[in-house]
């Protein structure tokens, strides 16, 4: 009230031609209220025209003073410095598990070629030639790096690709999907590049998709408004996420119903359109990987990425993304089990297994990120994060169940079983509203629904949200608020905090 009264006092002084002592205004409520009474009386006694001028002056000065006294906004301190804090193996792995991890780590960094090398099968359509090129921030297994490796991949080995307009040298790495193809709902990944022109692909001549705003006559796309993007999800701690039992996810979903209902939070596991929970024949668990929790297991996650991102066929995806005969140079599937190598230990020799199994093993035994050391300030930020309601979706931790060790059919993995995973996610999908909607349905996750992104490691991420639209963590928080979002009331609570409390939350997030 003193602030508003002060604004009106300025109007009164203006109309009277009397200066107002701005420098003396401190808790002068009574005097401000007297000025308020005077100016209202004065305006009411004047002619209609002068009344209008008085009201206009009040309005303009109120806006000016409100702008001048708007509270400051929190600042993203940027990517947390220091060691990567991620990329290593889980503690407590056995010798065999360590061997599987190291084998998968080595293959994760291999560069794929079309033919003539030890890692054949790239293309004909692909996004990159290496897992690490997309999953490298802050270390192997992470997400999009600052320097976009796809720029060089476009013309590697003589390829004739044009770099799409949405791939910039300073990132982020993006894959492209079309909302519709020839008017029909699509949602599939459309590869950025082709092997045409490469020295290891003689005779192949297929056109690259045209992602220009004018549209692509090859696919019937109409302009860039039909294109949506996804950036790579980090895979740190994926084995712990895989080991969380359905019962823990569902119990957490049912927890704190009154508070969640008051905040407008619901959320559900990604499920088939029939309403059944989307489960995998591979591991029998609720789906939990990918931006919409659309992937059923780490093995399927690896197999789909190998096929979609690099064009390499495997036992789960045995066909190429493009079957043009003149562009197929190796037998398919390119990646499969190798039964010609004999096992030399009690468990399966890593050389026997396929690349996708090696990738799955690497992700399964990849340790979660290590947060920064706790401080009283960070503890306050964490408390504020929980107080406003963020933790109802970004659940601080879930506990794993019994997980069988790689290479065994019965022995539990001590490194993965009965462990507390501080992932900051409920692994459910939520409505995020029109502002974040991508128009894509995957399983039971609708056009504006996304999995609660695990926040561990967010302190060392560069790009945020599913499409990498911002590198500012504060903007990413505010983007949660839009029409239809389950996070609207939580963000309202966040906005009501003092700048210091808001900054505490941002600093806490950057500590993870």
464-510 per-position pLDDT tens digit = 999 999 999 999 999 999 999 999 999 999 999 999 999 999 999 99
* Residue 190 domain-assigned (yes or no): no
Structure tokens at 15: 């109309």
Choosing from 68, 96, 113, the residue where a domain stops is: 68
Spatial separation of the C-alpha atoms in residues 509 and 512, rounded to whole Å:
5
Specify if 100 maps to a domain. Answer: no
In a domain, 255, yes or no: yes
**What sign has the CA pseudo-torsion 413, 418, 419, 423?**
positive
Does residue 228 fall inside a structural domain? no
Q: What is the mean pLDDT of the chain?
A: 85
Residues 167 and 186: their CA atoms lie apart, in Å, by: 22
Enter the pTM of the model.
Answer: 0.83
Give the chain's count of helices (H) and strands (E). 14, 11
State the total domains in the chain. 2
Quote the domain boundaries for residue 43: 2-68
DSSP classification of residue 47? -
Task: Give the end-to-end CA distance of the chain in Å, rounded to a whole number.
Answer: 40
Establish if 469 belongs to a structural domain: yes
| pLDDT band of 26, cuts 50, 70, 90 | very low
Residue identified by tokens 């009230």 is: 1
Name the residue with tokens 């990120």.
Answer: 369
Is residue 42 within 8 A of residue 12, CB to CB? The reply is: yes
Alpha-carbon span 289 to 388, nearest angstrom: 27
Domain boundary residue, one of 68, 88, 117: 68
* Residue 229 falls in which region: left (phi positive, over 0), alpha (psi -120 to 50) or beta: beta
Report the alpha-carbon distance of residue 133 to residue 150 in Å, rounded.
Answer: 8
3-state helix, strand, coil in the chain (%, to 5): 35, 10, 55
Higher pLDDT, 218 or 473: 473
Least confident of 111-115, 170-174, 389-393: 170-174
Tokens of 512: 């993870």
Pick from 68, 94, 125: which residue ends a domain? 68
Query: Does 331 map to a domain?
Result: no
């Amino acid at each position: 009230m003193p602030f508003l009264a002060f604004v009106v006092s300025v109007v009164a002084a203006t109309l009277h031609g009397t200066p107002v002592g701005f420098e003396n205004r401190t808790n002068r409520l009574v005097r401000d209220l007297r000025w308020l009474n005077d100016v209202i009386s004065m305006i009411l006694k004047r002619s209609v025209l002068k009344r209008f001028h008085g009201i206009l002056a009040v309005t303009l000065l109120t806006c000016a003073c409100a702008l001048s006294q708007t509270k400051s906004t929190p600042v993203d301190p940027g990517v947390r410095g220091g060691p990567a804090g991620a990329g290593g193996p889980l503690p407590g792995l056995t010798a065999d598990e360590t061997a599987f991890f190291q084998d998968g780590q080595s293959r994760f960094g291999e560069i794929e070629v079309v033919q003539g090398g030890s890692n054949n099968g790239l293309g004909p359509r692909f996004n990159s030639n290496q897992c690490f090129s997309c999953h490298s921030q802050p270390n192997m297994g992470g997400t999009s790096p600052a320097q976009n490796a796809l720029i060089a991949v476009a013309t590697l080995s003589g390829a004739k690709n044009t770099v799409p307009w949405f791939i910039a040298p300073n990132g982020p790495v993006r894959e492209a999907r079309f909302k519709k193809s020839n008017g029909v709902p699509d949602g599939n990944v459309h590869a950025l590049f082709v092997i045409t022109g490469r020295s290891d692909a003689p005779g192949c001549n297929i056109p690259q998709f045209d992602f220009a705003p004018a549209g692509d006559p090859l696919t019937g796309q109409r302009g860039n408004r039909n294109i949506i993007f996804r950036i790579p999800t980090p895979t740190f701690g994926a084995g712990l996420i895989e080991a969380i039992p359905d019962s823990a996810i569902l119990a957490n979903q049912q927890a704190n119903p009154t508070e969640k209902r008051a905040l407008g939070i619901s959320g559900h596991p990604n499920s088939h359109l029939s309403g059944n929970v989307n489960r995998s024949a591979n591991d029998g668990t609720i789906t939990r990987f990918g931006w919409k929790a659309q992937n059923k297991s780490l093995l399927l996650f690896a197999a789909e990425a190998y096929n979609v991102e690099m064009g390499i066929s495997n036992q789960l995806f045995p066909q190429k993304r493009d079957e043009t005969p003149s562009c197929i140079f190796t037998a398919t599937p390119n990646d499969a089990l190798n039964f010609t190598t004999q096992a030399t230990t009690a468990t399966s020799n890593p050389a026997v297994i396929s690349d996708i199994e090696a990738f799955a093993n690497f992700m399964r035994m990849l340790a979660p990120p290590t947060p920064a050391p706790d401080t009283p300030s960070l503890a306050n930020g964490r408390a504020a994060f929980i107080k406003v309601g963020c933790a109802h979706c970004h659940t601080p931790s879930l506990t794993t169940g019994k997980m069988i060790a790689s290479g065994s059919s019965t022995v539990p993995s001590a490194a993965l079983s009965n462990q507390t995973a501080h992932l900051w996610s409920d692994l459910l999908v939520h409505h995020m509203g029109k502002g974040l909607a991508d128009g894509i349905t995957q399983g039971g996750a609708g056009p504006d629904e996304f999995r609660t992104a695990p926040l561990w490691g967010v302190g060392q991420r560069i790009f945020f949200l599913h499409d990498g639209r911002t590198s500012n963590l504060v903007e990413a928080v505010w983007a949660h608020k839009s029409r239809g979002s389950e996070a609207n009331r939580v963000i309202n609570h966040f906005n009501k905090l003092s700048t210091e409390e808001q900054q505490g939350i941002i600093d806490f997030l950057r500590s993870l």
